[in-house]
């Protein structure tokens, strides 16, 4: 890139994803027609939802659901409620889901959905009716089901949203689908959710970042004086579900959260912030103003926190927050992306030139969909993890203790579901981060490009081996 920042026009989110895709596709040994096939979104529906509000006013609410790839089924991806969601944003997110699923080797195709509302402007009863109506329309169009498309929470949605969706689906199909609870993930535990899903994305970011910081070559390349997470300084942008659990995991890993940025304010303390106190204060007051033992930055100056020196910068909110305009201002050693699409294509070029490492979004935030996969399997098996083996593992470990003549009571127990989920997630994230790093080293490229190459080649392999020709 030779143009100055003032002359560069940043494309929209879909354009960003396609730029990264095109950049990586130059390195893959895949037929051009298959590359073109993979790039395109295979199906998208858009419909208006007539809606009568509690005050009697009428609205037409725009709704979307995109299926990026049918190379493996079901499609998988979140549903977001946001006032600015549109068709291209949903297609971009569905595309990223395909590549995310491929890079962590989870057997789904990418999907994504959206409803164009600001959930803060609607009461809970209205949100429930909108959710149920949206789900019903997807059912009518055959665009949802355990073997078709499996939504999950995203921006503006949560486990309650998923509970309404599954209940609507069950009501529509009655007793005709014994796997009905597999139509979405991120459900409450009482509705066959999986223990560990709520924190999975933040936990995955922690596992992936921890793993790469064990690598001495990586640490040397990005100027870390010591390996490991402990004592590393962290700045997090966004304190929603992903940001909160990311902050929690890094804090428990003995890293130091020195800055937090939200949409309207920020706080900074070089000696460290308490993530939970920060979260509770913001949730109660709607701003960080008045938060004790920290420097407060209002909306006009909050970017000063984002641009402060730190070891690891974690954007965990919106897309396109690191752009050509600010990529030369931020000062981390590495960026570990928690949000989808936080770094633009041209910003990546600037960061590469500056020697700032980027752990890409569709690798680092894949913990959520990985644990969603575990939940989906649980729903199809109709059995919670550990139920069959917990007693046996406890018995065998106690027998081993007797063989080894260990006298002290160790209160040995079999694993709970959360133990199994955490262990599996850590193993998958560790393996995938190392795979991407090795590919980056092999080709002397950045990790985002390497992750795209791995994803494209895995999807292409399916088409090539099956002879499918869409």
3-state secondary structure 74-132: CEEEEEEECCCCCHHHHHHHHHHHHHHHHHCCCCCEEEEEEECCCHHHCCHHHHHHHHH
What number is the average pLDDT over the span 113-140? 96
Is the C-alpha dihedral spanning 221, 224, 227, 232 positive or negative? negative
Residues 6+ apart with CB under 8 A from 284: none
Catalytically active residues, by annotation: 112
Output the CA–CA distances (angstroms, integers) from residue 387 to 186, 382, 397, in the order listed. 20, 11, 17
**Average pLDDT, stretch 413-424?**
86
So what's the pLDDT on residue 173?
Answer: 86
For position 199, what pLDDT does the model report?
93
- Range with lowest mean pLDDT among 20-34, 219-233, 254-268: 20-34
Beta bridge partners of 357: 334
- Does 392 score more than 80 pLDDT? no
pLDDT of 409 > 60? The answer is yes
CATH class of 43-191: alpha beta
For the domain made up of 194-382+416-470, the CATH class stated in words is alpha beta
Structural domain spans, the chain: 43-191, 194-382+416-470
* Domains 43-191 and 194-382+416-470 belong to one CATH topology: yes
Which range has the worst mean pLDDT, 201-205, 410-414, 423-427, 460-464? 410-414
The CA distance from 439 to 84, in Å, is 36
pLDDT at 9: 83
Sign of the Cα torsion 105, 109, 110, 115 reads negative
Q: Half-sphere exposure (CA, 13 Å, Cβ side) for 298?
A: 1
User: Which of the four pLDDT bands, split at 50, 70 and 90, describes residue 411?
Assistant: low
pLDDT digits (tens, 9 = 90+) for 144-198: 999 999 999 999 999 999 999 999 999 988 777 889 999 999 999 999 999 999 9
pLDDT at 175 (0 to 100): 75
pTM confidence score: 0.91
The label of the residue with tokens 């979307």 reads: 64
Vertex 117 angle, CA 241 and 148, to 5°: 70
Beta-carbon-side half-sphere exposure of residue 14 (alpha carbons within 13 Å): 15
More reliable by pLDDT, 251 or 390: 251
Predicted confidence at residue 450, as pLDDT, reads 97
pLDDT band for 247, please (50, 70, 90 cuts). very high
Report helix, strand or coil for 335. Answer: strand
Please report the sign of the dihedral spanned by the C-alpha atoms of residue 261, residue 266, residue 271, residue 276.
negative
The pLDDT value recorded for residue 470 is 45
């Amino acid at each position: 890139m030779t143009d100055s920042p003032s002359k560069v026009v940043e494309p929209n989110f879909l354009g960003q994803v396609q730029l990264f895709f095109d950049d990586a596709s130059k390195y893959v040994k895949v037929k051009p027609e298959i590359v073109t096939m993979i790039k395109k979104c295979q199906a998208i529906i858009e419909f208006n939802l007539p809606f009568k509000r509690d005050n009697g006013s009428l609205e037409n609410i725009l709704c979307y659901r995109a299926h990026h790839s049918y190379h493996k089924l079901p499609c998988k991806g979140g549903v977001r409620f946001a006032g600015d969601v549109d068709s291209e944003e949903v297609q971009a997110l569905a595309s990223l889901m395909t590549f995310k699923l491929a890079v962590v080797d989870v057997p789904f195709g990418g999907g994504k959905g959206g409803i164009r509302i600001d959930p803060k402007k609607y009461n809970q009863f209205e949100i429930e009716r909108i959710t149920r109506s949206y789900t019903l329309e997807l059912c009518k169009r055959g665009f949802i089901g355990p073997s078709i498309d499996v939504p999950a929470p995203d921006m503006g949605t949560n486990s309650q949203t998923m509970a309404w969706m599954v209940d609507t689906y069950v009501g529509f199909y009655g007793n005709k689908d014994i796997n009905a609870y597999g139509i979405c993930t991120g459900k409450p535990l009482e509705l066959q959710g999986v223990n560990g899903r709520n924190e999975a994305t933040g936990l995955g970011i922690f596992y992936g970042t921890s793993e790469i910081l064990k690598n001495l070559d990586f640490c040397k390349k990005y100027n870390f004086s010591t390996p490991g997470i402990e004592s590393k300084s962290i700045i997090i942008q966004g304190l929603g579900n992903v940001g909160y659990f990311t902050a929690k995991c890094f804090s428990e890993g003995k890293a130091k959260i020195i800055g937090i940025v939200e949409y309207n304010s920020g706080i900074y303390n070089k000696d460290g912030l308490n993530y939970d106190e920060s979260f509770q204060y913001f949730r109660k007051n709607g701003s960080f103003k008045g938060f004790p033992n920290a420097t407060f930055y209002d909306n006009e100056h909050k970017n000063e926190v984002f641009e402060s020196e730190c070891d690891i910068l974690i954007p965990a909110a919106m897309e396109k927050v690191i752009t050509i305009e600010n990529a030369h201002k931020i000062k981390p050693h590495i960026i570990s992306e928690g949000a989808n699409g936080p770094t633009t294509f041209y910003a990546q070029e600037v960061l590469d030139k500056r020697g700032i490492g980027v752990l890409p979004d569709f690798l680092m935030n894949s913990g959520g969909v990985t644990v969603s996969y575990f939940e989906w399997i649980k729903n199809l098996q109709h059995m919670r993890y550990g139920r069959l083996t917990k007693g046996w593992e406890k018995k065998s470990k106690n027998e081993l203790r007797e063989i080894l003549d260990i006298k002290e009571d160790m209160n040995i127990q079999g694993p709970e579901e959360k133990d199994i989920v955490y262990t599996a997630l850590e193993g998958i994230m560790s393996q995938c981060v190392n795979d991407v790093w090795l590919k980056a080293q092999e080709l002397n490229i950045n990790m985002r490009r390497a992750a795209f190459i791995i994803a494209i080649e895995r999807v292409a392999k399916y088409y090539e081996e099956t002879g499918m020709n869409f």
